[in-house]
Amino acid sequence: MSAFVRSALLQTLPVLLKAYDKDVDNFLRYHRLNPEWLERGNQPIPFAQAAAAIDHAARLCRQPSIGLHMAETRSLQDIGEFFHIAETAPTALDALRDFELFSPLLSHALCTRLDIDEPAGRARLYFDINLDVQVNIIQVVEYSILVICRILHHVTGQTFLPLMVGFRHSPPAKSSIYSRFFNVPVQFRQPLNVIEFSLDTLRQPLPGHRYATYYQLKERLLMHRRREYDFVRDVRNRIRLSIQMDDCSLDTLAASYGWQARTFQRKLAERGLTFSGVQDACRKQLFSEMVLDTRMGLGVISQTLGYANQSSLHKSCLRWFGSTPREMRKHAPSVRC
């Protein structure tokens, strides 16, 4: 099941390629991208195709942070109603809750979860991209998280900064550049991609809040979400996040939908699925991505996927691919330039 994204995601890529003296036309032909799609910005394209193009550009230009450069120069207005609802929201916390709710309308591949920790006065937005194919998503994850931070910085009147940004992947050889883009501590090899915020900051009234406009936009997006909702994709995305957060159980997932475990199992069975089957498929997909990061130890991957030890990962890998994790790692291309 392919997930799509609007071609606006790649609008700034040709400019960067030209800056590095690369043949833009040849690059776009290679990735089967029509230049007019990028100019208009509203053409649906496979998300995996877009992610592969950005990753290729990073290697071609020997620029391991090209996703951040693309996000820095992207027009926020191109995001459309999702940007406008953030602009008119009562608070930044409302904007984040809206992003969690409506992110599937940007792409069904987006996995988001907003956790509120009242005693600690913190909020954490967990983020991932589920493409169902083996492709390096590091660049597009970094791109997406910087765009989220830019939107919040804009709607708060240029005063907002998160407390911390964390990435699941390993750092590049030169990671000091991240401080220029985010202006806050950036941590790598985290269990999951995350942005951490102060609740007090998120609850401050936004200067652009417009009550009528906000609720009109929200009602329109809610109607759109009801039409576009994909239960199977939503389950896969939630399980993918839960695996990395080490809280992936049948009862927990059922409770997230407000159901008992038996009701959740029945809903899955109606679609020919089981909880354990979806969980196994998500682990397989996560492993196929994480093994590309050759700086990440197999022990870390095993722990992230919820295995008690590496031997369990070894058995699963043989069942999935007919190869051991070390064999998969040996033939995996490096994800960094």
Q: Are 141 and 129 in contact (CB under 8 A)?
A: yes
Element (H, E) at 61: none
Q: What is the pLDDT of residue 332?
A: 67
Q: Please give the torsion angle defined by the CA atoms of residues 58, 12, 194 and 289, in that order, rounded to the nearest 10 degrees.
A: -40
Q: What is the pLDDT of residue 31?
A: 97
Residue 69 is classified by DSSP as H
Q: What is the pLDDT of residue 133?
A: 86
Q: What is the pLDDT of residue 51?
A: 96
Domain residue ranges of the chain, discontinuous segments joined by +: 67-211, 231-330
**DSSP assignment string, 187-230:** E-S-SSEEEEEEHHHHTSBPTT--HHHHHHHHHHHHHHHHHH--
Give the pLDDT of the chain (337 residues) as one tens digit per residue: 579 999 999 999 999 999 999 999 999 999 999 999 999 999 999 999 999 999 999 999 999 999 999 999 999 988 888 999 999 999 999 999 999 999 999 999 999 999 999 999 999 999 999 998 889 999 999 999 999 999 999 999 877 899 999 999 999 878 888 989 999 999 999 999 999 999 999 999 999 999 999 999 999 999 999 999 999 999 999 999 999 999 999 999 999 999 999 999 999 999 999 999 999 999 999 999 999 888 889 999 999 999 989 999 999 999 999 999 999 888 766 544 4
Q: What is the pLDDT of residue 333?
A: 60
Q: What is the pLDDT of residue 335?
A: 47
In whole angstroms, what is the distance from residue 210 CA to residue 201 CA? Answer: 19
Q: Which fold has domain 231-330?
A: Arc Repressor Mutant, subunit A (1.10.10)
Q: What is the pLDDT of residue 334?
A: 52
Q: What are phi and psi of 236, to 5 degrees?
A: -60, -40
